[in-house]
Amino acid sequence: MVTVNGVIESNPAYQVQPNDDIFYDNQRISIQSNTRIILLNKPNRYITTMKDPLKRKTVMDLVHTDERLFPIGRLDKDTTGLLLLTNDGQLA
């Protein structure tokens, strides 16, 4: 459950404001100004990991950056859809 300023927020398009007080499952969420979040439309046959010892295609093959990124959540290899990546390991 997500609450913003003490109210349950169910609108996925809600635009967070700098002064908003955000909680997810009763844990405060704070975003630092240098936090980067990438929205990736994950295609089929890519695995949700940063590196694969078996040399399979990973989501990092789709993102061209040297920045260390972490997936927020996970999608199976044969699942397509929205995957979030961030440089904030605590957020992930």
CA–CA distance, 70 with 73 (Å, rounded to integer): 9
Q: Are 47 and 56 a contacting pair, CB within 8 Å?
A: yes
Reply yes or no on whether 76 is catalytic.
yes
Contacts of residue 65, defined as CB under 8 A and 6 or more positions apart, other chains included, come to none
Give the sign of the dihedral formed by CA 53, CA 55, CA 57, CA 62: positive
The catalytic position among 61, 76, 78, 88 is 76
Enzyme catalytic residues:
76
